[in-house]
Amino acid sequence: MLETSIAGSLPRPDWLAEPETLKGAWKLHGAELEAGKRRAAADWIRHQEDAGIQVVTNGEVFRSHFVHGFLEGLTGIDWQKMTRMGIRNNRYELDVPTVVAPLGRPAPVHLDEVRFSRSQARGRFKFTLPGPMTICDTIADGYYGSRPALAMAFADILNAEARDLEAAGVDVIQFDEPAFNVFMDDVKDWGIEALHRAMAGLRCTTAVHICYGYGIQANLDWKASLGNEWRQYEEIFPALNASRVQQISLECAGSRVPLSLLRLLPDKQLMVGAIEVTGTHVESPEEVAATLRAAAEHVELARILPCTNCGMAPIAWDTALAKLRALGDGARLLRERRQGWTG
């Protein structure tokens, strides 16, 4: 009951990379860098387990960006041809590489880190991959000619990768699709089709993470512009409920998402974000329990999986650790209390 997990990323420690920023530069090189990544992952896995997080990740400490970390292992992408691109419908700008030829995956991209991380985790292990639509919103296309065509090409490559990772013992494969909250028509037109293609044939648990983005300033400004009620999920949840993905990760803590929208996902397990990913406030276990309890007003408790709103990569290391503990403690609090109420 109330199986806890996190959306995915955790801060890379300040001895490993420039902290508290998106895409902070590595501070180590060569063999030292590889050893450092492993040490950071093992530390985070242990901290998650100590905090009572039941489905752990490696904190995504092996990559400097959640999309580009995967793309770096593929062929067909020109990293010298960087294009400054408006991301998520021009919410912020990022220098992105360009697809210049048919995409290929000469070898598994994340297999080594997954084998190592899997060996460190005592319980269930989740691995996150960028979703095809979000990749297409984070790279320039100089070859395929349309976003759906590019997305399907990425989906096939993601599927090959996901199968390799499943075979290495990953229990949950999660595709991160923050773009689903921005291009709602595309989700219905081709986004879910691409997601299905990426997860085809998988026997492990499948999940999709749809959020309002990291707690970086551009996202905070965007959220402030969305009005009193954030209803983006309302447009895509019916289609997602009809999809084959099993778990849906969404943002509930400190957000203006009406929790009644959870009712649009009657057939899914819901990773309810009960931890904000801004660095300014550490939730108390009481606050976490209250967020989860509020979600349980709308959906059965048995389908609720306590989670963070999004990745915590850009926030301070100590803050992220405190938030992990609050999440574990808050879920524990609710498990103890549920004897007392009938909801």
- Which residues contact Zn ion by CB under 5 A? 211, 310
Number of Cβ atoms within 10 Å of the Cβ of 160:
13
Q: Which is nearer to Zn ion, 9 or 98 (CB)?
A: 9
Residues in CB range of 343: below 8 A, 6 or more apart: 293, 296, 297, 301
Distances (CA, A) of 100 to 75, 151, 158, 262, 268: 9, 15, 18, 41, 38
CB 170 to Zn ion: min, Å: 19
Q: Which is nearer to Zn ion, 168 or 211 (CB)?
A: 211
Q: Which is nearer to Zn ion, 153 or 320 (CB)?
A: 320
Encode 194-239 in three state secondary structure: HHHHHHCCCCCEEEEECCCCCCCHHHHHHHHCCCCCCCHHHHHHHH
CB 211 to Zn ion: min, Å: 3
CB 305 to Zn ion: min, Å: 15
Q: Which is nearer to Zn ion, 60 or 113 (CB)?
A: 60
CB 82 to Zn ion: min, Å: 24
CB 7 to Zn ion: min, Å: 5
Query: E strands within the chain?
Result: 55-56, 75-87, 92-104, 124-130, 140-141, 172-176, 205-209, 247-251, 269-273, 304-307
Q: Which is nearer to Zn ion, 109 or 277 (CB)?
A: 277
CB 9 to Zn ion: min, Å: 9
Number of Cβ atoms within 10 Å of the Cβ of 221:
11
Q: Which is nearer to Zn ion, 168 or 310 (CB)?
A: 310
Residue with tokens 């389908």: 303
Q: Which is nearer to Zn ion, 150 or 211 (CB)?
A: 211
| Partners of residue 273 on adjacent β-strands | 251, 307
CB 209 to Zn ion: min, Å: 5
- The closest alpha carbon to 317, from 42, 9, 2, 12, belongs to 12
Q: Which is nearer to Zn ion, 48 or 181 (CB)?
A: 181
Considering only the C-alpha atoms of the chain, give the largest distance between any 2 of them, rounded to a whole number of Å. Answer: 60
CB 178 to Zn ion: min, Å: 5
* Cβ-based burial of 84 (10 A; exposed 0-12, middle 13-18, buried ≥19): exposed
Residues in CB range of 4: below 8 A, 6 or more apart: 52, 53, 54, 55, 305, 306, 307, 327, 328, 331
Distances (CA, A) of 229 to 54, 86, 254: 32, 25, 12
Q: Which is nearer to Zn ion, 117 or 181 (CB)?
A: 181
Backbone angles phi, psi at 92, to 5 degrees: -150, 165
CB 29 to Zn ion: min, Å: 29
From CA 122, how far away is CA 245, in angstroms rounded? 25
